[in-house]
Amino acid sequence: MPDQPIVQFDNVSVQFDSLVALRDCSFTMRAGETRVILGAAGAGKTVLLKTTLGLYRPSAGRLLVFGEDVTRLPEKEWYDIRSKMGVLFQEGGLFDSLTIEENVSYPLINQRVARLDPHRDAAVIEERVRESLRFVELEHTLGKFPSELSGGMRRRVGIARAVVTSPPLELYDSPTAGLDPITANNIVSLIVKERDSRNTATMMVTHRYQDGQLMANFRYNPGKGRLEKASENGSGAPPIRTVFMVLNDGRVVFEGSQAELESSQDSYLKKFVRQE
Amino acid sequence: MLASKVWESGALLDFLKTPIQSLQDFVILGGRTFANLFRRPHYADDIAIQMDIIGVGSLPIVLLTGFFSGAVMGLQMSRALSTYGATGQVGNIVSITLVRELGPVLTALLVAGRNASGMASELGSMKVTEQIDAMRALGTDPVQKLVKPRLIATCFVLPLLTIIADFVGMFGGWVIAATILQLASTQYWSSAWRALSYSDIAQGLLKPFAFAIIISLVGCFYGMRTTGGTQGVGRSTTQAVVVASVWIFVTTFFITRIFVSI
Ligand SMILES: Nc1ncnc2c1ncn2[C@@H]1O[C@H](COP(=O)(O)OP(=O)(O)OP(=O)(O)O)[C@@H](O)[C@H]1O
Ligand SMILES: [Mg+2]
């Protein structure tokens, strides 16, 4: 069911003591949509993502996720909803006391939807963990610890963990921050690949406008095993529905298409667009 | 005049707001931990690991400090008692002070220094690297997975460590009594045993239990509210040790007060 709203913010504000991190945010994200979130440091991008995950509670407004009003949902019931989302945290969030294999299998064992038993379903778990790590080309790191991997590899393990349960919504927080351009492009390619192989709704926070451009204009071609310009594969694939959203000081200051963003005369918005 | 200005500006209230807010958050964390105490899942592995870290890890320093605190008390008391010609009572005094007060408090302070700080720094680094967020996002309750095992392990291990410290301390007192005071061993041990009443033992076991709750909850609390990167982890660690130690002294005062009056 495309077009069905899966995340809906209605005038949501999030407050920490005296600091208002999100003010009156409203937007609707639909199934199959790609949403690229830009904004300066401290603009509230991470808070917005974590509010979607139910890690922070709105202090005002209404939040709907997968059609359900979750504004006042008790923590216990959030666990079911969170199992329909995959997430890559800005700081990684890999458990450094667990091996890569244990990290990637964590949602399979602990999330309500999958709830596989580590002993009974060991074979299923191992197969899905391997598949997920193969997806990010890190199958050989199974027994290693996160501290033994490079920054880019850790990011990829984070993606493997986010996609292992095949959730309908993926949240990525600054997946390319602090990486060299080549590794950064590889990471975005993985995100596009995941989006296009399962038509996953994707919300991505980023500091690099190129990431948004890649997301908006490229598709994964499973035949060739690489990305190509969306217009080139012409074979009637549906256009990518990409929405750009810009935050400034906790407010949504822009929501629209790439063309609209690029033609904007606003000085704050212009800062994000330039940098080919 | 000045006071009213301070009051109006809300400065005084702001000054009080932070500690009251912290206390409230602390009580909420404690409440959630106890509410989940008998609720599954129990993460037995984590409890065992924590028992090993706290119990086995603290044993050497508990043995050392226990021994020397008993010995030093034997020395101090022998001087005081000799003025009354009552050096024979040294076993009596050493065992009462150890079991009632010194054993529980010293052990708890050592464990606070080692483990409240350890918990705060471990949970603190998990907090700043978003591992605690990841836990919640991936289907586990950090209170169940992190706080509960630490609370259970500490409550189980600290009384045991205290009993060990008590015995080693009495042994330390005996070494002094036998070597320096030339007291007969039977005299020392029988006066040490006779001195203890059931209420002493009850108080000597209740205290470590209460201290265990303080140490584990304070350590976890400061860890889980860490902000501000690696620097914040250091700050939480220090706060956890200081706050846990102060609360140990406050609590021992009130427990003693109750036992003195009954
Ligand atoms: N847990 C928290 N407690 C208090 N304040 C917070 C918390 N999390 C975020 N903030 C504050 O909310 C504001 C928005 O933070 P946020 O992390 O969302 O920024 P961001 O847009 O993700 O920035 P960056 O690009 O640097 O990651 C900041 O001022 C931050 O200090
Ligand atoms: Mg951020």
Give DSSP secondary structure letters for B102-157: IHHHHHHHHHIIIIIHHHHHHHHHHHHTTHHHHHHHTT--HIIIIIHHHHHHHHHH
Residue showing tokens 């959203």 = A245
Beta strand residue intervals within A106-240, DSSP E: 169-173, 201-205, 218-221, 226-229
Indicate which residue's Cα is closest to atom 20 of ligand 1: A42
- For residue B246, being part of any structural domain is answered with yes
The pLDDT value recorded for residue A54 is 95
The pLDDT value recorded for residue A224 is 81
Cβ contact B256:B100 at 8 Å = yes
Residue A119's pLDDT band, with cuts at 50, 70 and 90, is confident
**Predicted model pTM:** 0.90
Residue A247, judged by CB atoms within 10 A of its CB (0-12, 13-18, 19+), counts as: buried
**Whole-angstrom Cα distance, residue B179 to residue B75?**
11
Domain that holds residue B208: 42-261
The pLDDT value recorded for residue B26 is 93
- For residue B52, being part of any structural domain is answered with yes
Interface predicted TM-score (ipTM) of this complex, two decimals: 0.92
CA B166 to chain centre: 15
- For residue B128, being part of any structural domain is answered with yes
Gap from A50 CA to chain B (nearest CA, Å): 9
Q: Total domain count for chain B?
A: 1
Residue B1's pLDDT band, with cuts at 50, 70 and 90, is very low
Cite the DSSP H helix spans in A27-171: 45-52, 75-82, 100-110, 122-135, 151-163
Of A198, A243, A244, A206, residue with least CA distance to A30: A243
Mutation test of ligand 1: which of A15, A45, A206 has the most ligand atoms closer than 8 Å to its C-beta?
A45
Question: B140–A107: do the CB atoms touch at under 8 Å?
Answer: no
Residues having CB within 6 Å of any atom of ligand 1: A 16, 19, 21, 39, 41-47, 90
The pLDDT value recorded for residue A114 is 63
- For residue B154, being part of any structural domain is answered with yes
Cis peptide before B159 (omega within 30 of 0): no
**Whole-angstrom Cα distance, residue A175 to residue A162?**
12
- For residue B27, being part of any structural domain is answered with no
The pLDDT value recorded for residue A201 is 94
Of A162, A164, A227, A237, residue with least CA distance to A193: A227
Residue A168 has pLDDT above 50, yes or no: yes
- For residue B184, being part of any structural domain is answered with yes
Q: Which chain A residues have a beta carbon less than 8 Å from that of B138? A: 82, 106-107, 110-111, 161
CB-nearest to B130 from A78, A83, A92 is: A92
Q: Is B14 on the interface with A (CB under 8 A)?
A: no
Q: Which chain A residues have a beta carbon less than 8 Å from that of B136? A: 53-55, 78, 82
- For residue B72, being part of any structural domain is answered with yes
The pLDDT value recorded for residue A202 is 95
Higher pLDDT, B8 or A145: A145
- For residue B46, being part of any structural domain is answered with yes
